[in-house]
Structure 1
Amino acid sequence: MPVARPDSSGARIIAHVDLDCFYVQVEQRKQPKLRGLPTAVVQYNEWKGGGLIAVGYEARNYGVKRSMRGDEAKEVCPQIELVQVPVARGKADLSSYRNAGSEVVSILARKGRCERASIDEVYLDLTDAAEAMLAQTPPESLDEVDEEALKSHILGLESKDGNDSKATVKEWLCRCDADHRDKLLACGVLIVTELRMQVLKETEFTCSAGIAHNKMLAKLASGMNKPAQQTTVPFSSVKGLLDSLPIKKMKQLGGKLGTSLQNELGVTTVGDLLKFSEDKLQERYGFNTGTWLWNIARGISGEEVQARLLPKSHGSGKSFPGPRALKTVASVQHWLNQLCEELSERLCSDLEQNKRIAHTLTLHASAFKSSDSDSRKKFPSKSCPLRYGTAKIQEDTFNLFQAGLREFLGSFGVKTQGSHYSGWRITALSVSASKIVPVLSGTCSITKYFNGPDKFGSTSEQLPDNFIDAAPLSPSGSESYSTLNSTELQNELPGEQVWIEHSMADLGQLEMKANTWNRLDPSCSISKQTSGRSMVSFRN
């Protein structure tokens, strides 16, 4: 929970852009005949027509909800079009949605610092763009304002007939007597309008947006008027917004903290927090949380928009509800292998396209013991250094699962011997790669040398696709770790040493490749150091 910087946060112009029913829009772009029809996207499983994961607005008008199954949705709306999520490896394949989201991000990033929060959500810091517009073409100097901008909702602004009509919005945008904050906000309204129209033109997707002085308020505003609309929160309207906002609607207050505020302090709205001093909140919830609560009650947040167009992590997961719960080690290993294949593909794609490598592999699982109803005992998450290559990721993930399962069963007093243990059920599995960092500028992946056929005739066989021996371990001491080929390593690290991690079974292949490099570059040599690691050296 970041502690705000109230001195500077009021001058910022932050937008939260949310793509409307995004999965449905992606499918409608694929099949234009679906436009205007009640449509929903369903999970691939066939039980009761599959679970709805996205519902278009036309379908919502008939009472269709995301909590429904496909069969139930058809009962409510017989003419509904149900589109199944693409499937790969027995699970939903979201790559088409991720790629479509990237199209939108590339457009939004043209105007300011951009933080991709999810597949269909983006934060923008438009402060610099708004300051530039205010200096060059301030809104009050405009004879005409874009028609779409005049459709904006300005919180707290109402005309005599009770609506924020176009004339009233134009008057607010073009006021000469507005303070600096409101003038910047007016510029933000015009910039976001332009961006939304550009997204529609280039991608055919509509989006809604919230514009405010910080991320927290922008996020709240983006959901107020949907679809294809935008809402602005002037500083003067913040108190009115928060006074009546249910506490559970605020980010990070939907769980235990929100429940504690309700039960222990009688807080039902964010505005109710104004009754308590900062000292009182700090005394009960700790210094940082207490300060954060005091700040959000006043609409204060100093959380920065992080310059992030790419995801911080990659993950792949699958649920196994009810009778589909996994109960054998073999079935778990099968599904872990499927998840790891997808993860490995995404890691390789990220490496090739964005020159980034991940450092940490993490396994998450949900489980219960069939003979015990104590649901408070959770399957422990497990992590280890990430080794690139499908087979390596599969091997390490399965080892993490086995360690987690032993610990989970141990919490019930069950002692395990080998792989012979039963009485447990797995209801969800996910594997993720995190701590992603850029590779040195101008370098490329060593995978090209370990994945392709030997170019020098040492062998005619295609090297296995799992042979990517460049594990991104954390540097220690004077050792260097890299994912570069021989020539690039010498350019980047003359006279340096580079560790390459590998299995002993792959050592022969590694030596063969090093010999190939040596033919190209005599300064390259390899020496075995310890089991599972070798050093590639370059002489000055």
Structure 2
Amino acid sequence: MPVARPESSDSRTRIIAHVDLDCFYVQVEQRKQPELRGLPTAVVQYNEWKGGALIAVSYEARKLGVSRHMRGDDAKEVCPQIHLVQVPVARGKADLNIYRNAGSEVVSILARKGRCERASIDEVYLDLTDSAEAMLRETPPESLESINEEARKSHILGLKSEDANDAQENASKWLRRSDANHQDKLLACGALIVAELRMEVLKEAQFTCSAGVAHNKMLAKLVSGMNKPAQQTVVPSSSVKRFLESLPIKKMKQLGGKLGTSLQTDLGVNTVGDLLRFSEEKLQERFGINTGTWLWNIARGINGEEVQGRLLPKSHGAGKSFPGPRALKTIASVQHWLNQLCDELNERICFDLDQNKRIAHTLTVYASAYKSCDSESYKKFPSKSCPLRYGTAKIQEDAFNLFQAGLREYIGSPGVKTLGHHHNGWGITSLSVSASKIVAIPSGTGSITKYFHEQYASPSSKETQDTFVKKDHAIITASESYSELEPTDQLQPDNNVPCVGIPWKEQDSSCSSTVQTKDGSGKGASPPLPSGSGCCSPVNQTASASRGTILKFLKSYNLSCPTPNQQNVEMVKGSQPPSCSSLEENQALLPRRNLAEIRSNDGSYNLDQNAQRAWNYKIDEIDHSIVDELPSEIQDEIRVWLQARQQPGMVKRPSIIKRGSIAHYFSPARNT
């Protein structure tokens, strides 16, 4: 549903650009094979039917009648000389990493001049307001003796010209007008900056791109593709009304579906200008307050959406389609492809972790399906989510369990048997997995507990699956998603998610710790630490006042044992019920606390007790070699604490993860 964002006081003077790479997939392949430049070329998706689907077509091929809606064999019939390049394949599906990496090259160049928001694999928004204002102060366009050719080729909406040479001359005069108002002067500076950035992209990355320059994101996006390839379009405020008057309503973002159809059929609105006939109250009455206000705003070119400073994707995903006779009809085939997708997903989130120090928190499984009986053909396959555990085997296990939970709900019979190889009247036409809620790992010792990633028990049993998993209504693409939210947005705890870890035995009340106040005095005793056997071992608490002790975070535990009803959970074959008496799988519940800690000058931490979160990890799964890579001032403290919790007879797990990577902070996956 569209969101009406009010304009800020300075929104009319913001300079926003939308940069769109031209035939990006083709350009990436042409950079690999320069001999293809200037020749009719198309990139085809990995597919065995009719030569595969075209996902990018060069402008040379378009002139010869090839369109992106064709398949490879159709394109050859229309244009026999066309060069078809297949997308790289990995794990039996398309591998888009080469294109993602090339897109990242371009983003790093564009981000030099302003706030940058990566909208997709080949689209970027830029907020160039600060750079434009600096240029206007230091070297205003009217003071320039000449401007570069790329800037002279700019298309200025509302500026009429007889031919190409005349258009360039008129554009040059418009950009250097001394009598222009402040808005247009800033816009001219923005156009010069974008032209310079586009030349840098061509020089350094060998890619051409087109752009739109306007006072808001909506207008910049609308015009960026008007004069492709390798050109840019500028939208002065004076030309907005005339431009929108004739713009088809379906061309507007978020009006290409049901809402746009409703406007056409119910109100007779065919262009954006037609919306001007209706008052804001009338639109609110018909479509609701939020959507009505949004429609009223876009009809006038108003858009208060800001460019988010985001260079990295909000989520990672991997998916594959199985159309027609290729639909998956057995659990075994679904599990095979889930394993492939999870392998790719794990590779990408581990790369993100290693390169960008970010952790994904939520795993979601999506599917499209059909039933043999079409009585409920309208019913969608429910998406299911659970906390994400790092490691290929763990992700595969959880994804398969999530799928089975979704299948039971889709079929409509909780007791239906989903295991086995038999076809039960359903088929899967698409399958995807995503990792979302990605947050950056805060630096410093104050956030060391975050390295012990939440290791919730996998949703292995039927009851646990149906309780633990939850629907996720976000729409995630099969490759990756770029959301409106910041990648470092802090997560809010989900209090509805049950803790399925193994609790500690009742603690010895003789152990307690004292939190130091700012002046160094004790301020009450915190709840005691849980003990593996008897009282906790003494810990050196003579740490320098210049830093806080890591053990201050370990002060609040849920030590209750599960009730009989909780223990009598239906378990999948091979799983074991939890036991309070067994310490073979100790799991400590770290303090419920806010993700953000505010560290004071004396090293103590002020925690927001109103926003709490449960952290779980298993003592026996901690690789003790990680202590060597922690900050030196807390290594001894952590070793003592871990040793106090180690149970007699507990087998130390060997480290199987490569050292030198932050990924080895996470416990090794169990062999399955």
Is 1:318 the counterpart of 2:328? The answer is no
Structure 2 equivalent of residue 240 of structure 1: 242
Q: CA deviation at 1:492?
A: 7.9
Structure 1 equivalent of residue 378 of structure 2: 376
Q: CA deviation at 1:148?
A: 1.4
Q: CA deviation at 1:392?
A: 1.0
Q: CA deviation at 1:9?
A: 1.8
User: Which of 230, 233, 241 lines up with 1:231 in the alignment?
Assistant: 233
Structure 1 equivalent of residue 605 of structure 2: none
Is 1:105 the counterpart of 2:107? The answer is yes
Structure 2 equivalent of residue 495 of structure 1: 551
Within 5 Å, give how 1:86-165 maps onto structure 2: 86-159=88-161, 165=167
Q: CA deviation at 1:8?
A: 2.7
Q: Which has the larger radius of gyration?
A: 2
Q: CA deviation at 1:373?
A: 5.8
Structure 2 equivalent of residue 429 of structure 1: 431
Asked if structure 1 preserves the Cα contact closer than 8 Å seen for 2:316 and 2:435, the reply is yes
Give the counterpart letter for 2:256 in structure 1: G
Give the counterpart letter for 2:73 in structure 1: D
User: Which of 57, 77, 81 lines up with 2:83 in the alignment?
Assistant: 81
Secondary structure in 2 aligned to 1:422?
A: coil
Within 5 Å, give how 1:128-527 maps onto structure 2: 128-159=130-161, 165-372=167-374, 374-410=376-412, 416-419=416-419, 422-441=424-443, 494-497=550-553, 511=620, 513=622, 521=636, 522-525=639-642, 527=645
Return closer, same or farther for 1:333/1:476 CA change in 2, 3 Å cut-off. closer
Give the counterpart letter for 1:124 in structure 2: L
Asked if structure 1 preserves the Cα contact closer than 8 Å seen for 2:216 and 2:303, the reply is yes
Secondary structure in 1 aligned to 2:218?
A: helix
Provide TM-score, normalisation by structure 1.
Answer: 0.86
* Cα deviation 1:96-141 (Å, max 9, x = unaligned): 0000000000000000000000000000000000000000000011
Secondary structure in 2 aligned to 1:82?
A: strand
Secondary structure in 1 aligned to 2:374?
A: coil
Structure 2 equivalent of residue 458 of structure 1: none
Q: CA deviation at 1:277?
A: 0.2
Return closer, same or farther for 1:512/1:258 CA change in 2, 3 Å cut-off. closer
Asked if structure 2 preserves the Cα contact closer than 8 Å seen for 1:327 and 1:426, the reply is yes
* Cα deviation 1:1-22 (Å, max 9, x = unaligned): 2423164321100000000000
Q: CA deviation at 1:161?
A: 5.4
Asked if structure 2 preserves the Cα contact closer than 8 Å seen for 1:3 and 1:301, the reply is yes
Rounded to whole Å, the distance in 2 between the matches of 1:12 and 1:104 is: 23
Asked if structure 2 preserves the Cα contact closer than 8 Å seen for 1:9 and 1:300, the reply is no
Rounded to whole Å, the distance in 2 between the matches of 1:164 and 1:14 is: 27
Return closer, same or farther for 1:389/1:298 CA change in 2, 3 Å cut-off. same
CA RMSD of aligned residues (A): 3.0
Structure 1 equivalent of residue 539 of structure 2: none
Rounded to whole Å, the distance in 2 between the matches of 1:506 and 1:57 is: 61
Q: CA deviation at 1:370?
A: 1.7
Asked if structure 1 preserves the Cα contact closer than 8 Å seen for 2:408 and 2:418, the reply is no
* Cα deviation 1:365-388 (Å, max 9, x = unaligned): 111102216432110111111111
Rounded to whole Å, the distance in 1 between the matches of 2:207 and 2:371 is: 45
Rounded to whole Å, the distance in 2 between the matches of 1:442 and 1:315 is: 30
Secondary structure in 2 aligned to 1:115?
A: strand
Asked if structure 1 preserves the Cα contact closer than 8 Å seen for 2:365 and 2:383, the reply is yes
Secondary structure in 2 aligned to 1:67?
A: coil
Give the counterpart letter for 1:495 in structure 2: L
Q: CA deviation at 1:396?
A: 0.9
Rounded to whole Å, the distance in 1 between the matches of 2:415 and 2:59 is: 53
Structure 2 equivalent of residue 457 of structure 1: none
Asked if structure 2 preserves the Cα contact closer than 8 Å seen for 1:514 and 1:524, the reply is no
Q: Which 5+ residue runs of structure 1 have no aligned equivalent?
A: 451-471, 480-489, 530-535
Give the counterpart letter for 2:551 in structure 1: G
Return closer, same or farther for 1:518/1:53 CA change in 2, 3 Å cut-off. closer
Secondary structure in 1 aligned to 2:293?
A: helix
Rounded to whole Å, the distance in 2 between the matches of 1:414 and 1:243 is: 54
Asked if structure 2 preserves the Cα contact closer than 8 Å seen for 1:518 and 1:525, the reply is no
Return closer, same or farther for 1:144/1:85 CA change in 2, 3 Å cut-off. same
Return closer, same or farther for 1:62/1:160 CA change in 2, 3 Å cut-off. closer
Rounded to whole Å, the distance in 1 between the matches of 2:377 and 2:15 is: 45
Q: CA deviation at 1:524?
A: 3.2
Percent identical among aligned pairs is 71
Secondary structure in 2 aligned to 1:523?
A: helix
Rounded to whole Å, the distance in 1 between the matches of 2:83 and 2:25 is: 13
Secondary structure in 2 aligned to 1:169?
A: helix
Secondary structure in 2 aligned to 1:359?
A: strand
Q: CA deviation at 1:528?
A: 8.2
Give the counterpart letter for 1:331 in structure 2: S
Q: Which 5+ residue runs of structure 2 have no aligned equivalent?
A: 456-489, 496-525, 528-542, 557-575, 579-583, 588-617, 629-634, 648-664, 666-672
Asked if structure 1 preserves the Cα contact closer than 8 Å seen for 2:620 and 2:646, the reply is no
Return closer, same or farther for 1:492/1:89 CA change in 2, 3 Å cut-off. farther
Secondary structure in 2 aligned to 1:430?
A: strand
Give the counterpart letter for 2:348 in structure 1: R
Rounded to whole Å, the distance in 2 between the matches of 1:254 and 1:115 is: 23
Give the counterpart letter for 1:523 in structure 2: V
Rounded to whole Å, the distance in 2 between the matches of 1:329 and 1:515 is: 39
* Cα deviation 1:327-384 (Å, max 9, x = unaligned): 0011001101100111101100000000001111111111110221643211011111
Rounded to whole Å, the distance in 1 between the matches of 2:401 and 2:166 is: 60
Greater CA drift, 155-164 or 226-235: 155-164
Rounded to whole Å, the distance in 2 between the matches of 1:476 and 1:283 is: 35
Asked if structure 2 preserves the Cα contact closer than 8 Å seen for 1:157 and 1:164, the reply is no
Give the counterpart letter for 1:90 in structure 2: G
Asked if structure 1 preserves the Cα contact closer than 8 Å seen for 2:115 and 2:307, the reply is yes
Asked if structure 1 preserves the Cα contact closer than 8 Å seen for 2:404 and 2:418, the reply is no
Asked if structure 2 preserves the Cα contact closer than 8 Å seen for 1:3 and 1:288, the reply is no
Q: CA deviation at 1:440?
A: 1.3
Return closer, same or farther for 1:475/1:492 CA change in 2, 3 Å cut-off. farther
Secondary structure in 1 aligned to 2:149?
A: coil
Q: CA deviation at 1:474?
A: 6.4
Q: CA deviation at 1:391?
A: 1.0
Provide TM-score, normalisation by structure 2.
Answer: 0.69
Rounded to whole Å, the distance in 2 between the matches of 1:157 and 1:219 is: 19
